[in-house]
């Protein structure tokens, strides 16, 4: 693997395109994607030099998108994170996943705490046979400020009369471990999560977290056969609306969409969220940089755990731009984006796209 990375990084043209788009470099934080890519991969023993640097990366993929030779800088950063002494906050997160199955170290059977906000009992949907599975993800399951995400998505599935299931054995998707440079239990997690949905006869798995989506689509298939389709909630819900299974009323609101890096650059899902916003009748006021060129909000790569000041600074820049656009809400499609934008403060509402759709759901349809 390291030999492959060395080979890859030797292709660097030293053009500097990655530097101009890196949100951390632009925020003046020590670090240099070009140097990480070329020098660190060449001699991993120099990793000590990058003791703090590899954790100053949001895995936003902007460098890869800008690189004329598609150099996998974030992959090198991940390798480095596995080589240096990890900050205590990251060490704790790794231990939590290993011991509890979730990043917070909470009791894993409390994954359904958010469901008290539903106006129907969720119990009968857990561990049942169904064609559609919903993977909640740790952030949405445990962070009180994000409970609206699973509540909205489950309400939309109910409204469309979809037969769906959630699994009591859900474990962290494993991406936070990979981001921490710790891959030792990834295979075990992948096999367990796949088996749980397979047992229930699931044919389509839906998740509202782009990082979870990438785990299911890119990481798990390298470990175990994933015998069903995996979609982001924006794709699945859009297909339900197109099939007439969900009817929306028109809402009068000016909104701005923050493309989550992992969804746009990582999965190429750029159109569906915008089409969903259009379905609500809301007026979409776009950020200057969007889609593949979208600026990172600072919520990825575990940056909030290691460098909260910079994570906040990047988020504030998005909040400010949205305000200047005259936007009344920032819409995103990622729990980490929503959380980071919320933690930055400000008086503009931050909603997941599912939550926006909920506001357009007629009460009696």
> What residues line the site for ligand SF4 (CB under 6 A)?
12-18, 21-24, 33-34, 37, 57-63, 66-69, 71, 73-74
In the bound complex, what is the minimum distance in angstroms from residue 26's beta carbon to ligand SF4? Answer: 9
In the bound complex, what is the minimum distance in angstroms from residue 197's beta carbon to ligand SF4? Answer: 30
CB-based contact 299:336 (threshold 8 Å): yes
Dist. CA 181–CA 114, nearest whole Å: 30
In the bound complex, what is the minimum distance in angstroms from residue 25's beta carbon to ligand SF4? Answer: 6
In the bound complex, what is the minimum distance in angstroms from residue 38's beta carbon to ligand SF4? Answer: 7
Pick 51 or 128: Cβ nearer ligand SF4: 51
Beta carbons within 8 Å of 303's beta carbon, 6+ residues apart: 55, 56, 57, 58, 310, 311
In the bound complex, what is the minimum distance in angstroms from residue 291's beta carbon to ligand SF4? Answer: 16
Pick 74 or 87: Cβ nearer ligand SF4: 74
Dist. CA 264–CA 294, nearest whole Å: 8
Dist. CA 205–CA 306, nearest whole Å: 32
Pick 59 or 114: Cβ nearer ligand SF4: 59
* Of 252, 288, 340, 269, nearest in space to 58 by CA: 340
Residue 229 pairs in a beta bridge with 204
CB-based contact 166:126 (threshold 8 Å): yes
Q: DSSP character for 166?
A: B
Q: DSSP character for 131?
A: S
First to last CA, the chain: 53
In the bound complex, what is the minimum distance in angstroms from residue 17's beta carbon to ligand SF4? Answer: 4
Length of the chain: 365
In the bound complex, what is the minimum distance in angstroms from residue 260's beta carbon to ligand SF4? Answer: 13
Pick 58 or 312: Cβ nearer ligand SF4: 58
Pick 270 or 348: Cβ nearer ligand SF4: 270
CB-based contact 7:76 (threshold 8 Å): no
Pick 59 or 216: Cβ nearer ligand SF4: 59
Pick 63 or 141: Cβ nearer ligand SF4: 63
Dist. CA 284–CA 278, nearest whole Å: 8
């Amino acid at each position: 693997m390291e030999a492959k990375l060395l080979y890859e990084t030797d292709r660097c043209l030293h053009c500097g395109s990655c530097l101009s788009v890196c949100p951390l470099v632009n925020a003046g934080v020590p670090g240099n994607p070009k140097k990480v890519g070329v020098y660190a991969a060449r001699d991993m023993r120099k990793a000590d030099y990058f003791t703090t640097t590899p954790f100053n990366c949001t895995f936003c993929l902007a460098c890869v998108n800008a690189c004329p030779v598609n150099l996998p800088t974030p992959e090198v950063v991940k390798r480095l994170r596995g080589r240096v002494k990890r900050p205590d906050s990251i060490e704790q997160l790794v231990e939590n996943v290993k011991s509890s199955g979730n990043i917070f170290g909470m009791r894993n059977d409390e994954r359904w705490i958010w469901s008290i906000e539903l106006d129907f009992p969720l119990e009968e949907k857990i561990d049942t046979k169904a064609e559609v599975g919903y993977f909640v993800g740790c952030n949405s399951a445990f962070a009180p400020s994000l409970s609206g995400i699973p509540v909205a998505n489950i309400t939309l599935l109910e409204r469309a009369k979809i037969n769906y299931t959630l699994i009591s054995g859900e474990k962290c998707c494993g991406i936070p471990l990979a981001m921490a440079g710790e891959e030792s239990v990834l295979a075990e997690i992948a096999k367990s999560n796949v088996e749980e949905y397979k047992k229930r006869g699931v044919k389509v798995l839906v998740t509202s977290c782009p990082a979870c989506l990438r785990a299911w689509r890119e990481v798990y298939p390298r470990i175990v056969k994933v015998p069903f389709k995996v979609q982001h909630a924006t794709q699945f819900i859009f297909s339900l609306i197109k099939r007439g299974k969900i009817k929306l009323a028109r809402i009068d609101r000016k909104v701005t969409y923050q493309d989550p890096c992992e969804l746009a650059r990582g999965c190429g899902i750029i159109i569906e969220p915008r089409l969903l916003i259009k379905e609500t009748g809301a007026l979409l006021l776009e950020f200057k940089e969007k889609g593949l060129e979208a600026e990172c909000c600072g919520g990825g790569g575990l940056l909030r755990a290691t460098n909260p000041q910079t994570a906040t600074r990047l988020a504030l820049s998005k909040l400010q731009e949205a305000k200047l656009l005259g936007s009344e809400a920032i819409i995103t499609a990622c729990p980490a984006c929503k959380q980071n934008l919320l933690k930055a403060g400000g008086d503009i509402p931050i909603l997941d796209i599912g939550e926006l759709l909920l506001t357009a759901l007629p009460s009696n349809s």
